Structure 1
Amino acid sequence: MPSTPQRRSHTGRSYRQFPTKDALATAYVQGRADAWFARMRQAAEEPATAAGKLMAVFGVLAADAGATDPNQLADELLIVLNGAYATAAVLDGATFGQRAVRLARLLIDDACPRLQAPATGSTIR
């Protein structure tokens, strides 16, 4: 009786291109990271000033996070960032850096309702 050819899955072909599962996972994660950074670079290309570049990146991130008003969240995050830089230059940078992160989390939680867990209301991180 003639044998039938074995069907190979797409996954099987992917594994043959990488020596280990770790190498495959690393390549996947690296590809995702490269695409993300390319998107951020593209967003920051047009603005001429550093503040404009930050606003563009914050705007993309805020929109991706589902902010109800991405531009407002981008503005608020830039204020927090600028305040953290200014404060850290003259006071304890570590302490005020932690406070800036906490404030940014509060702003993000408020602006991005879809990041809230439905049952508890706690933020998904």
Structure 2
Amino acid sequence: MDDEEARTRLLDTAEALFYTHGIQAVGMDRIRTASGVPLKRLYRLFPAKESLVTAYLERRDGRWLNSLRAAATRPSDPRDRVRAVFDWLAEWFAEPDFRGCAFINAYGELGPTAPEVVRTHKSELRTLLADLTTGPPTLADQLLILVEGATVLASFTPGPTPAHRAREVAELLVPATDPKG
């Protein structure tokens, strides 16, 4: 196994274990065992648990935002773009392994010591929401609150309903503030 394969195995394993059980509940030895990567190589690739946590979150950030962006930018109408965000969330919330937002979960566990990627992710999500509509700057903040609130609620009661309710509220906001509405 070369370093690239070992890195992929470690990140796949870390993501599955951290997302399911929490960052603090999973030690490096458990990741080593589950990934099959020797401890020496693990620590060569990720000298500390913090570096593995950061790499896991960075990879998840890219994949998550790219998937949401692809779904939300397909429609040309800003109202349909906003609807697409909540439709995408509804599908995500209905996945059997849904455990809430990895970034909110990480911040909840680690607080101010959470990797910077946690804050960056939320900032990039807000920027994406702002890019989807031509409404006032506050609209992106309102949509972000709806996205985050729905995500937190769905972590307690998995399923698409929180996304559907948030979409209903978003539809009230967008036509009233979007010049194209």
TM-score (norm 1): 0.49
TM-score (norm 2): 0.35
> Which one has the bigger helix percentage?
2
Q: Give the structure, 1 or 2, with the largest relative contact order (CA under 8 Å, sep 6 or more).
A: 2
